[in-house]
Structure 1
Amino acid sequence: MSSSVSNLEGQSLLGEMSSFEKGGFFDLGHPLLNRIVESFVKAAGIGAIQAVSREAYFTAVDGLDSNSGIPREISSSKKYRFPGLKGETNRNSLEAMVKNTGKESLQWGLAAGVYSGLTYGLQDARGAHDWKNSAVAGAITGVALALTSDDSSHEQIVQCAITGAAISTAANLLTGIF
């Protein structure tokens, strides 16, 4: 057995994950494309986990509310659930969960890919990595996220742009402090 084969067999999950951080799984021929795709895939996975875990939580909370006698209309958990999950049949609920998990994964991936690509591109174009790159990338990412919303208004788009710029600028400025 060659040493490369035995090395692959002995590699742990932790080793594989650390190599993902260093070199990545993708080689699309350009560092910008690699960064965008890797950010998209990582964040989309996180979005899917978050969406499914949120649904599991609210399903559990709804079960507790029905056991404690609190009327469903008063329960605050109902407004945060996936819109298609009403519990008519397991098939309808599963289809709604898959659809909404996919949408949320796409939104998380879009945000990460756009932000990562913009910060990398701006750094390359300007020759500097500073708060200005973060502010522009955050604002554009906020607009992209607002446009994926079901009911995006002019005010919501502006608010998301300002919020994205503020959060990414603050994160950039606080990076050296913590």
Structure 2
Amino acid sequence: MPSSSFGASLATPKLNVAIDTGNPFLNVTVDGFLKIGTVAAAKSLAEDAYYVVKGGNFSGRKIEHSLKKMCKEGAYWGSYVLPCMLYLANFIWTVAGMYVGMEYGMERIRGTHDWKNAMLGGALTGALISAASKKSKDNVVIDAIAGGAIATASTFLNYLI
């Protein structure tokens, strides 16, 4: 009996930026800013892509707006992600319990330990919390994207420390 299969893999990208400021703490801070800013820009791009696909409206003005939004989000997240996380510690304890379970579940299902588990676990956590809050379908998707981005950023920070 004929059969066919599909095999593919997505390699983990390696991004190493070497900026030597002469101070090890400052080096880690700059590296973290760049990595977290990149995650935020990707989050912004994913949100805008969702709305373009959903609405079918694509124009030069939307591209320009998306690029500006990506830069703003990248700078904001790179600068403020840690202080915001500390400020929201009480809420984070609740979400953290759900996220840890989701990430562990992803690790067990996928059989590997990498940043993709964090992204998938964060996306599921964001979607579940949003759905439990009885938000619209669009908000559930956006919250899933945000959850995946925050979890991925957190994982990248753990690699720095």
TM-score (ref. length: structure 1): 0.39
After TM superposition, the score normalised by the length of structure 2 is 0.42
- Larger RCO: Structure 1 or Structure 2 (Cα < 8 Å, ≥ 6 residues apart)? 2
Larger-gyration structure (1/2) = 1
